[in-house]
């Protein structure tokens, strides 16, 4: 939101000046206009409800024996490289750059309305980076809790994924996503999952070497590459199977 | 009539046609199919339209109601009047007025005001506000009478009565008869073989939203309602060859099994024996539930045309897609799959008020046999939609043109061009290789950050600017001419008319502008 305000203020202050300047500045004005348009779009649809809203209504209800799974998340989920669980009734509902409060807002539309048996919730990394404002472990935890409670209320089993690691192997990633905070948040997610009967999906341990993202499994130090997804896909399958096999209800 | 009489009649008709100015515009959208294509234009062309000027402007004493004022004028090329043969424009005003104008001089020939027989009920019903302005809300339709040079206007007044008025002198030629409930909101009338078609929306006057077919010989009225969502296509229903009326339905659930047809398209046909209006066919996009949840009505008047031995139809939605349908089965076996659906053309913000397709479609065929489809849209072009020819960035609205093509046995709409930016692009008309379009200049916002939803005329009228009329090359969308700042007011829910070298546009301040080539 601060970024939106800053962009709008910049255009208001500099717009008249730039308009009277050279063609190069004309390009700058156009770039600012595009930025304002994008900011306006974010204001109008902060939670990203329009990203999948139309497609959601075109998905028929699951068949009686269908083990439908919805993956709700951010870049890590949306940008899944390689085949996304071919042959499986798994639905990707990741949105790049999203934070957990945004996911919470669209949880009803993008998860509950699709009537899955399991939801895999993956988020928190962009919260730590402050993409929608300052966020603490407590705030992220509250959002994850709310999503888990919504799932419970609708008979959906919950898998909570860890935040993936980062490294400075290509560029500085740890400044925005301090490794200690990732570890701390993952500790909270693991404890919460255990206390409520949800399944903890540990992407972190499989992708990290010490505190760093294994360089061979990432192309930018933040997102898994195709090899990284090959590592975590079976873990997701395992967690889903575990959730489906659970006899006890979410506590 | 014996054979001799018929021959004399035919000869008279032939002579009359030969001597006529040539073109009429007797119904909103130009014809029953609502293609908005003036096939008979011979004066204005791609080469001379750059010299178009304001021929005249006339101020009519019609009082605007809410944001409505003048409807698109209807043009009769040759009318036998008490003062000789004239080309007459008939313009309807929302305050129950009809005006006849001599288009050669721009002078008023006559005015007819319908006296209101309706008394508002003691208990208030839905009414007022922008959506329910009251008054005359349907563009009339004109039909030829039994003798050449004589024409009859069919119009619905505020009290719901059908009036039959002589074009030549403004006199009623029949006693007004009951057609629709009073204080409703009928849309532009269509006519075919003795039957008048219209539909209503917004539940104005507390009346249900239904489609109507008025059988003139028997005066029987057939109705059919979608039970969810009014029908508010700008230019009323479109009629196919077999007399089926097609219209989009507004915001409502799509649940045909339970008789609810919101956010779809319905085909209705008059039962020739009972005169009842019956459901013939129906279609809704596969994401109709999304359209309903986001108020993205399918409220567009379709256009119907022939293509490769089929009768095809196009329509659109506020979501900003265009649908290509075969009138033999508009949604296929499951009523959910038309021949072709475009990607989103605009409305990336999913805005229910100031973006999307509002109004009606248009279609024409060029000299090489290429079939074109045009749609207006409001708001910015979708960032992922493109056409081979684009005429600058589009922020407030534009016309998008498609070619109808058959590839590998399947029909499709292939993007051809996108026009320049227009402030709320409205339904275009096509004549002799030129597309005439306009930005209405209307403030269409309904909600505001500081107050929320506040869709009132008191806010939107001051926010409106002025209309701009454009002439575009129909092959490329390139701007050939514009009215610039000459039109000083805007309009709401109006449109264009064109015949015999003249283009007409009315504005909120009750001025009718006529553009053409000065002699």
* Residue B199 neighbours by CB under 8 Å, 6+ apart: B186, B187, B209, B210, B211, B212, B230, B231, B232, B233, B236, B237, B247
- Res. B3 pLDDT band, cuts 50 70 90: very low
> How many CB atoms lie under 10 A from the CB of residue A221?
19
A53–B348 CB contact, under 8 Å: no
A37–B288 CB contact, under 8 Å: no
Helix, strand counts (H, E) of chain B: 3, 38
* Pairing status of strand B303-307 against strand B310-316: antiparallel
Distance CA B272, CA B280 (A): 13
Q: Which of residues 376-405 of B touch A (CB under 8 A)?
A: 380
Model confidence pLDDT, tens digit, residues B476-509: 999 999 999 999 999 999 999 999 999 999 999 9
pLDDT of residue B140: 98
Alpha carbon of A172: minimum distance to chain B alpha carbons (Å): 32
Whether B248 and B211 have beta carbons less than 8 Å apart is answered as no
Chain B residues close to A47, C-beta within 8 Å: none
Distance CA A20, CA A12 (A): 14
Count Cα atoms within 13 angstroms, Cβ side, for B160. Answer: 19
Structure tokens at B457: 């005329």
Closest partner residue to A57 (CB to CB) among B287, B349, B351 is B287
Whether B87 and B76 have beta carbons less than 8 Å apart is answered as yes
Degrees to nearest 5, angle at CA B193 with B192 and B196:
50
pLDDT of residue B125: 64
Give the predicted TM-score (pTM) of the model. 0.89
Tell me which residue has tokens 């230019």: B235
Alpha helices (runs of H) in B94-134, residue ranges in sequence order: none
pLDDT of residue B126: 61
Q: Is B344 on the interface with A (CB under 8 A)?
A: no
Chain A residues close to B288, C-beta within 8 Å: 57
How large is the average pLDDT for residues B176-200? 97
What angle, rounded to 10 degrees, do the helices at A23-44 and A2-19 form?
150
* Pairing status of strand B429-431 against strand B447-448: unpaired
B290–A56 CB contact, under 8 Å: yes
Distance CA A173, CA B450 (A): 39
pLDDT of residue B18: 38
Whether A169 and A218 have beta carbons less than 8 Å apart is answered as yes
Distances (CA, A) of B297 to A79, B362, B369, B477: 33, 19, 33, 27
Chain B residues close to A53, C-beta within 8 Å: 290, 293-294, 350
Q: How far apart are the first and last CA of chain B?
A: 44
Q: Which residue of A lies nearest to B285 if distances are taken between CA atoms?
A: A58
Mutate: best of B286, B337, B343, B353, partner A, most A CBs <10 A? B286
Q: Is B517 on the interface with A (CB under 8 A)?
A: no
Taking phi first (over 0 means left), then psi (-120 to 50 degrees means alpha), and beta for anything else, what does residue B170 get? left
A40–B349 CB contact, under 8 Å: yes
Whether B226 and B266 have beta carbons less than 8 Å apart is answered as yes
pLDDT in tens, chain A (251 residues): 344 444 444 544 444 444 455 667 888 988 898 888 888 888 889 999 999 999 999 999 999 999 999 999 999 999 999 899 999 999 999 999 999 999 999 999 999 999 999 999 999 999 999 999 999 999 999 999 999 999 999 999 999 999 999 999 999 999 999 999 999 999 999 999 999 999 999 999 999 999 999 999 999 999 999 999 999 999 999 999 999 998 756 66
How large is the average pLDDT for residues B420-447? 97
pLDDT of residue B122: 73
Alpha helices (runs of H) in chain A, residue ranges in sequence order: 2-19, 23-44, 49-58, 75-78, 100-105, 107-110, 125-128, 137-153, 179-196, 203-207, 226-245
Distance CA B454, CA B286 (A): 32
A114 SS3 class:
helix
- Res. B387 pLDDT band, cuts 50 70 90: very high
* Residue B277 neighbours by CB under 8 Å, 6+ apart: B211, B212, B213, B222, B223, B224, B268, B269, B270, B271
pLDDT of residue A250: 62
Q: Which residues pair with B124 in a beta bridge?
A: none
Distance CA A56, CA B38 (A): 42
Closest partner residue to A58 (CB to CB) among B287, B348, B350 is B287
Structure tokens at B496: 């264009």
- Res. B120 pLDDT band, cuts 50 70 90: confident
Distance CA A171, CA B339 (A): 50
Model confidence pLDDT, tens digit, residues B352-379: 999 999 999 999 999 999 999 999 999 9
Q: Which residues pair with B198 in a beta bridge?
A: B212
Q: Which residues pair with B122 in a beta bridge?
A: none
Average pLDDT, chain B: 94
Residue B137, pLDDT > 70, answer yes
Whether B483 and B468 have beta carbons less than 8 Å apart is answered as yes
Backbone φ, ψ for residue B413 (5° rounding): -110, 115
Closest partner residue to A50 (CB to CB) among B286, B288, B350 is B350
B287–A55 CB contact, under 8 Å: yes
Whether B444 and B415 have beta carbons less than 8 Å apart is answered as no
Distance CA B274, CA B69 (A): 37
Residue B4 is inside which H or E element, if any? helix B3-19
Structure tokens at A203: 């992407």
Q: What is the largest CA-CA distance in chain A?
A: 69
Interface confidence (ipTM) of the complex: 0.78
Model confidence pLDDT, tens digit, residues B192-241: 999 999 999 999 988 999 999 999 999 999 999 999 889 999 999 999 99
Distance CA B312, CA B324 (A): 7
Q: Which residues pair with B80 in a beta bridge?
A: B85
Closest partner residue to A54 (CB to CB) among B287, B348, B380 is B287
How large is the average pLDDT for residues B334-343? 98
B290–A53 CB contact, under 8 Å: yes
Burial A160-191 (b: 16+ CB within 10 A, else e): bbbbbbbbeeeeebbeebebebbeebbeebbe
């Amino acid at each position: 939101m601060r970024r939106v305000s800053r962009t709008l203020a910049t255009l208001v202050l500099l717009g008249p000046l730039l308009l009277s300047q050279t063609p190069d500045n004309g390009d700058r004005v156009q770039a600012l206009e595009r930025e304002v348009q994008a900011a306006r779009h974010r204001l109008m649809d902060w939670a990203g409800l329009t990203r999948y809203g139309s497609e959601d209504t075109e998905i028929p209800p699951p068949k009686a024996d269908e083990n439908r799974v919805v993956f709700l998340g951010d870049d890590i989920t949306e940008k899944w490289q390689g085949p996304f669980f071919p042959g499986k009734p798994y639905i990707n509902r990741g949105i790049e750059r999203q934070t957990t409060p945004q996911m919470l807002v669209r949880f009803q539309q993008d998860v509950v309305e699709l009537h899955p048996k399991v939801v895999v919730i993956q988020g928190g990394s962009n919260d730590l980076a402050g993409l929608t404002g300052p966020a603490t472990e407590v705030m992220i935890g509250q959002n994850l809790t709310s999503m888990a409670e919504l799932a419970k209320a609708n008979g959906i089993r919950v898998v909570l994924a860890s935040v993936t690691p980062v490294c400075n192997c290509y560029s500085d990633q740890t400044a925005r996503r301090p490794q200690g905070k990732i570890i701390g948040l993952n500790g909270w997610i693991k404890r919460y999952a255990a206390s409520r009967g949800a399944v903890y999906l540990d992407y972190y341990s499989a992708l990290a070497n010490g505190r760093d993202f294994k360089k061979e499994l990432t192309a930018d130090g933040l997102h898994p590459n195709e090899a990284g997804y090959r590592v975590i896909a079976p873990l997701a399958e395992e967690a889903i199977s575990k959730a489906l096999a659970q006899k006890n209800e979410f506590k | 009539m014996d054979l001799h009489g018929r021959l004399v009649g035919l000869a008279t008709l032939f002579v009359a046609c030969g001597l006529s100015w040539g073109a009429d515009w007797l119904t909103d959208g130009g014809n029953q199919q609502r293609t908005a294509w003036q096939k008979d234009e011979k004066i204005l062309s791609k080469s001379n339209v750059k010299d178009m000027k304001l021929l005249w402007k006339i101020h009519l004493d019609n009082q605007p109601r809410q944001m409505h004022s003048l409807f698109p004028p209807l043009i009769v090329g040759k009318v036998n009047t008490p003062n000789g043969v004239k080309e007459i424009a008939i313009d309807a005003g929302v305050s129950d007025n009809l005006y006849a104008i001599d288009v050669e001089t721009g002078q008023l020939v006559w005015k007819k005001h319908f006296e209101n027989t309706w008394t508002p009920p003691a208990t208030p019903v839905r009414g007022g506000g922008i959506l329910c302005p009251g008054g005359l809300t349907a563009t009339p339709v004109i039909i030829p009478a039994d003798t050449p040079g004589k024409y009859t206007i069919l119009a619905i007044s505020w009290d719901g009565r059908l009036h039959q008025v002589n074009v030549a002198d403004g006199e009623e030629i029949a006693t007004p008869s009951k057609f629709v409930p009073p204080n409703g909101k009928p849309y532009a009338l269509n006519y075919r073989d003795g039957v008048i078609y219209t539909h209503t929306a917004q539940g104005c006057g507390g009346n249900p939203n239904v489609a109507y077919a008025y059988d003139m010989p028997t005066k029987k009225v057939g109705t059919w309602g979608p039970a969810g969502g009014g029908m508010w296509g700008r230019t009323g229903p479109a009629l196919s060859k077999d007399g089926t009326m097609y219209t989009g339905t507004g915001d409502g659930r799509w649940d045909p099994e339970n008789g609810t047809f919101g956010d779809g398209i319905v085909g209705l046909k008059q039962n020739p024996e009972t005169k009842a209006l019956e459901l013939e066919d129906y279609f809704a996009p596969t994401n109709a539930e999304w359209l309903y949840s986001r108020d993205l009505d399918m409220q567009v008047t379709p256009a119907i045309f022939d293509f490769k031995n089929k009768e095809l139809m196009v329509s659109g939605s506020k979501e900003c897609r265009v649908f290509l349908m075969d009138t033999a089965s508009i949604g296929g076996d499951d009523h959910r799959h038309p021949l072709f659906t475009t990607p989103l053309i605009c409305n990336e913000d999913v805005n229910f008020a100031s973006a999307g397709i509002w109004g009606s479609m248009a279609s024409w065929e060029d000299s090489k046999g290429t079939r074109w489809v045009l749609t207006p849209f409001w708001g910015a072009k979708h960032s992922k939609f493109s056409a081979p020819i684009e005429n600058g960035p589009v922020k407030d609205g534009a016309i998008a043109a498609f070619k109808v093509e058959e590839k590998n046995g399947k029909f499709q709409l292939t993007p051809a061009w996108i026009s320049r930016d227009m402030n709320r692009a409205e339904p275009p008309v096509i004549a002799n290789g030129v597309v005439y379009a306009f930005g209405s200049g209307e403030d269409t916002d309904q909600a505001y950050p500081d107050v929320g939803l506040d869709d009132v005329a008191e806010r939107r009228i001051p926010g409106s600017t002025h209309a701009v009329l454009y002439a575009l090359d129909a092959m490329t969308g390139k701007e050939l001419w514009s009215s610039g700042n000459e039109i000083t007011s805007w309009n709401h829910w109006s449109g264009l008319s064109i015949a015999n070298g003249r283009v007409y546009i009315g504005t909120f301040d009750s001025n009718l502008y006529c553009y053409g080539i000065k002699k």
